[in-house]
Structures are given as C-alpha cells and as structure tokens.
Amino acid sequence: MDAQMRLPVLNISVYLFTQLQDTPTLRQACLEQAQNRQLKGTMLIAEEGINVFLAGPPEDVRGFVQWLQQDPRFASLAPKESWSARQPFKKLLVKVKNEIIRMNHPTIQPQHGRAPAVPAATVKRWLDQGHDDAGRPVVTLDTRNDFEVDAGAFEGAIDWRITKFSEFPEAATQHLDDLKDKTIVSYCTGGIRCEKAAIYLRELGLEDVYQLDGGILKYFEEVGSAHYKGDCFVFDERRGVHPDLSELEGGA
C-alpha cells in the first residue's frame, strides 16, 4: 500500500444510512464544498442517508470528509480509500434521490436499524474453517449486478445473475429455500447493497444473515484476496481495482 499512497489522487467510497430531512439544503452545501476543493465524483443524498464516491488531492478529499463529519449525523463516516495516478471521474454530480441505492422496498430502512455486520477478519476465518463459530455452514451471497460478479467474486458465492439491485427481492423470494439452515454473508462492493439485502432476507424469516462490513473494498484492505478470485468492479474510469486496491491496467 505504501507505493499506492504515493500516487497523487485519493479515491474514497463511503455511505451512511441516517435520517435526513433537509436534502435540498444539504445537497447545495455539499456541492459548494466539493466544488471549492475541485473534487470530482458522485454524491447521492436521500432521506435515508448519503452515498459518496469522490476523488481528488488527498488533503482536499479528507478536508471534505472532515467538513461532513462536523455534522453529528455524519460523525461516524469511515471512508474506504484507494489511490490512482489520474482523476477517475469526469465531473462532479451531487443529486437528491428517493433512495441512495434503489431497491423499491420502502419498508427496508437501514437508517432505523442495521442488520448485523461481520468484519472481514471474521468472514475470512469462517471461510478458512468452512463454518461459523456455531458450526453452521457458511455461504457468501453476492448482491451485485451480473457484470460486476464476472469481474471477480468470492469463491463459491451464490450469484442470482441480477441485472439491477431492484431485482434482488424477487430473486431472494424465488431462492429462499436454498438459503435455509445456513449462515449467510451478503456482500457487495462497499457495503450499501448488502446492508439492505441482509435486512430484506431477515424480513423473509432467515435468522442467520449478516452483511460483510465495508464490502469487498474493506475486505481487500484488511485481509487481502483470501477466498476471493479476480478483481472488484468500480463505477468510475478505473473500471476496477485489484485486491491490493491498485487500479486495473488501462484504467483511468
């Protein structure tokens, strides 16, 4: 990682489910702060929280995060960091949306209570030993779109070949019997989709469902590529990152 940190552009990915009632005002403030720091990327704001992908000089990116954290609602923000040689975004977009990740299930509200999260080290240990600490078989469930899965995934992961996250609830209902009597670890790129997915599966009656805390990017950062095959697709001009969080060759 030391070599990566010598690259000039810091990329962050961070989301937080938290109740917001001032989304238009917040959007304008975030836009002005990001513009003043000449940051590029995408920031989605909804009543359920924020979802941020930004890149720029490290002091400016971290300054923006520190500004956000001054708001008590965002004090717990913990961005996942990676580095690139060039700016991977073409422009800055700050949008107000109905959901920061679209699922079309308004009863799923992580801002009012998260599903249990499992840290990367625990997931690795479970996969090393082939079962959780109670002896139950463990399966990983990929909640990403099919083309993202094709770039890289956990070995043996369940993949329902969805093309958009709003298809997840129907797929889960159709495959519910396949998940019974197992410990399920849902995962995605940064944690946002698997967080909603875990809550939905629990609402379907599955008790032993967890989300991989921080998603694939945090897993790469903390334990590397163990039990993971391939790279991780990201939605910017890098196209993806390797398990050491370096950008793909031919990317941005």
Active centre residues (catalytic):
188
Q: State the Cα–Cα distance between residues 101 and 44, nearest whole angstrom.
A: 9
Taking the CA atoms of 104, 105, 110 and 111 in sequence, report the sign of the dihedral they define. Answer: positive
Residues ≥6 apart with Cβ < 8 Å to 135: none
21, HSE (Cβ side, Cα atoms, 13 Å): 0
Structure tokens at 63: 């300054």
Backbone angles phi, psi at 28, to 5 degrees: -65, -40
Task: Tell me whether strands 9-17 and 49-56 are parallel, antiparallel or unpaired.
Answer: antiparallel
If we measure between CA atoms, which residue out of 118, 76, 93 comes closest to residue 42?
93
